[in-house]
């Protein structure tokens, strides 16, 4: 009868899979999630969003100087990240060579974020130019995200709704 118990125990499905031996590394996930907490030690170049479709580039200064004619158009801009949302990496700002040339970069459908430490990184961005008037609540939210006062957030801004972003250090 004891051999019957042994046979029944051996036939039972395992309740937990056996752990891999310590000498074997755990399998990496098939895709890496876009984590906003990446640090300088973990990236030197990264791409977020869809593949780039445009090869022609325009400067941020050109877009800002004639924003109404660029509104609704897809552009690709190279530049340097001047600031990033310090809470999630859900937006960043890009500055042009002229100090007044500035644009906020948001990410289409909130589909990806950038690392919290990407300020100062070189970037290439592809997206649609938008002209946005911000409510007081939106300005307060952005000021909180940036660690600034609401007076430092303009009421009107140029935005790029990015579909693709590449960052490099």
User: Does residue 35 register a pLDDT over 70?
Assistant: no
Res 36: pLDDT: 47
Q: Which helix (H) or strand (E) holds 2?
A: helix 2-11
100 vs 92, more confident: 92
| pLDDT over 60 (residue 14) | no
pLDDT at residue 9, as a whole number:
40
Residue 107, CA distances (Å) to 18, 50, 104, 126, 162 in order: 41, 11, 10, 10, 5
Q: Report the C-alpha gap between 86 and 134 in whole angstroms.
A: 20
Q: Quote the radius of gyration of the chain (alpha carbons, Å).
A: 24
Give the tens place of pLDDT for each residue, 37-75.
Answer: 545 458 899 999 999 999 999 999 999 999 999 999 999
Better pLDDT: 143 or 9: 143
How far, in Å, are 15, 35, 121 from residue 93 at the CA level? Answer: 51, 19, 11
Q: Can you tell me the distance from the alpha carbon of 68 to that of 73, in angstroms, rounded to the nearest whole number? A: 10
The pTM is what?
0.71
Q: Which CATH number fits domain 36-129+158-168: 2.60.40.10, 1.10.3720.10, 3.30.300.30, 2.40.50.140?
A: 2.40.50.140
* CA atoms of 47 and 107, how far apart (whole Å): 13
Domain spans of the chain, in order of start:
36-129+158-168
């Amino acid at each position: 009868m004891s051999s019957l118990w042994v046979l029944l125990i051996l036939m039972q499905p395992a309740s937990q899979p056996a752990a891999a031996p310590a000498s074997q590394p755990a399998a990496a996930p098939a895709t890496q999630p876009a984590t906003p907490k990446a640090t300088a030690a973990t990236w030197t170049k990264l791409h977020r969003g869809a593949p780039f479709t445009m090869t022609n580039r325009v400067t941020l200064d050109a877009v800002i100087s004639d924003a109404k004619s660029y509104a609704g158009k897809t552009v690709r801009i190279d530049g340097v990240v001047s600031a990033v949302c310090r809470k999630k990496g859900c937006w960043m700002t890009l500055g042009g060579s002229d100090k007044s040339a500035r644009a906020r970069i948001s990410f289409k459908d909130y589909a990806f974020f950038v690392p919290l430490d990407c300020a100062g990184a070189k970037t290439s961005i592809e997206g649609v130019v938008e002209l946005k008037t911000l409510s007081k609540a939106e300005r307060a939210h952005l000021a909180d995200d940036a660690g600034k006062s609401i007076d430092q957030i303009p009421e009107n801004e140029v935005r790029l709704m990015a579909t693709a972003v590449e960052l490099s250090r």
